[in-house]
């Protein structure tokens, strides 16, 4: 089943630059016209195939790189999304970088230092599992630096991203939006499943208490740092299959819009073709 969408997901889930964002107005359980994973199976397959060819084209074309930033609360589905997107691509052209609490060396530098070192070179795709946005999210919520410092970071982030885009590093940023209820359900699943218990961290339940603070921090970060050139998307993520579908679709639409091309062969194809035919005759 393919939904007859009136609006592309790029438009529908894109955060309008500079406009106030209210996450409560976005339903985390939205699935468009589909009722189950089964309804989405064909589309998921189709987009996975497209992702694979587009990433190969990005690699061959060699002019652009793609940076995907994933943000979300605990159990929001960052790992699952990475698995889905990268699972479709050739591992030789991709990488994943996770950002945890900064090390002593990292905090001794400006907050973008560790980030810039990991941005993708031309022809490649990098996914950030958490990103420089932690420095206006967890850092703001827990007052790890004074407000005078974090409040200046939105502008610094915009300037940094703009410089990357100028240099053909394209940036897509996804906030995986889950409900508080779904987060609790996923925590419970982790508690009950021995294969998932390793994912539980001490801070998970503690951080739930800051749900409202995180929501406000996300609303500010997304509306202040979404731009046409480095857009943020709010992805309804209570249903993992819909989340995967929406993220993959937006990446596909974006890459298709880049008008990439295979480079001209560096060898004389006609000459090699003649050699091939001559070899066949022998
Ligand atoms: P996880 O992604 O579950 O492995 O957890 C990584 C942890 O590192 C999360 O609790 C993040 O909030 C935290 N973290 C990531 N970046 C920063 C940062 N810049 N400052 C403080 N904590 C951070
Ligand atoms: Mg965690």
Over the stretch 21-59, which tens digit does the pLDDT of each residue have?
A: 999 999 999 999 899 999 999 999 999 999 999 999 999
- Residue 171 inside a domain? The answer is yes
How far does the centroid of ligand 1 lie from the alpha carbon of residue 23, in Å?
22
Q: Indicate which residue's Cα is closest to atom 2 of ligand 1.
A: 100
- Residue 21 inside a domain? The answer is yes
pLDDT at 89 over 80: yes
Q: Classify the C-alpha dihedral 90-228-47-76 as positive or negative.
A: positive
Is there a contact between 68 and 127 (Cβ–Cβ < 8 Å)? yes
Q: Please give the C-alpha separations between residue 217 and each of 55, 56, 100, 127, 274, in angstroms, as whole numbers.
A: 33, 36, 18, 22, 64
Ligand 1 atom closest to the Cα of residue 201 is 3
Q: How many domains does the chain divide into?
A: 1
Q: Indicate which residue's Cα is closest to atom 17 of ligand 1.
A: 101
pLDDT at 1 over 60: no
- Residue 1 inside a domain? The answer is no
- Residue 120 inside a domain? The answer is yes
- Residue 71 inside a domain? The answer is yes
Q: What is the mean pLDDT of residues 93-118?
A: 98
**pLDDT, tens only, 209-238:** 999 999 999 999 999 999 999 999 999 999
When pLDDT is cut at 50, 70 and 90, the band that residue 18 belongs to is: confident
How far does the centroid of ligand 2 lie from the alpha carbon of residue 26, in Å?
23
Domain of residue 273, residue span:
9-281
pTM for the model stands at 0.96
Pocket (CB within 6 angstroms of ligand 1): 99-102, 130, 134-135, 138-139, 144, 201, 203
- Residue 2 inside a domain? The answer is no
**pLDDT, tens only, 164-201:** 999 999 999 999 999 999 999 999 999 999 999 998 88
- Residue 3 inside a domain? The answer is no
Q: Which residue has the tokens 């300037």?
A: 159
CATH of residue 242:
3.40.50.300
Element of type H or E holding 193: none
């Amino acid at each position: 089943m393919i939904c007859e969408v009136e609006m592309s997901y790029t438009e529908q889930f894109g955060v309008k630059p500079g406009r106030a964002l209210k996450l409560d107005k976005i339903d985390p359980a939205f699935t468009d016209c589909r009722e189950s994973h089964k309804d989405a199976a064909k589309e998921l397959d189709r987009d996975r195939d497209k992702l694979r060819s587009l990433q190969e084209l990005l690699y061959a074309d060699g002019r652009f790189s793609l940076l995907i930033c994933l943000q979300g609360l605990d159990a929001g589905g960052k790992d699952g999304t990475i698995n889905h997107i990268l699972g479709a691509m050739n591992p030789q052209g991709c990488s994943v970088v996770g950002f945890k609490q900064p090390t002593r060396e990292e905090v001794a530098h400006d907050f973008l230092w560790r980030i810039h070192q990991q941005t993708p070179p031309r022809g490649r795709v990098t996914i950030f599992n958490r990103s420089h946005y932690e420095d206006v999210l967890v850092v703001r919520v827990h007052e790890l630096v004074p407000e005078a410092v974090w409040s200046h970071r939105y502008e610094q982030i915009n300037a940094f991203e703009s410089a990357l885009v100028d240099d053909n590093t394209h940036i897509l940023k996804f906030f995986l939006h889950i409900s508080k209820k779904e987060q609790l359900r996923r925590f419970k699943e982790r508690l009950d499943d021995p294969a998932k218990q390793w994912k539980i961290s001490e801070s998970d339940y503690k951080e739930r208490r800051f749900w409202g603070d995180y929501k406000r921090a996300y609303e500010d970060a997304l509306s202040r740092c979404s731009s046409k050139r480095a857009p943020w998307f709010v992805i309804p993520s209570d249903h993992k299959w819909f989340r995967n579908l929406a993220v993959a679709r937006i990446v596909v639409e974006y890459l298709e819009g880049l008008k990439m091309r295979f480079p001209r062969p560096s060898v004389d194809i006609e000459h090699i073709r003649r050699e091939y035919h001559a070899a066949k005759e022998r």
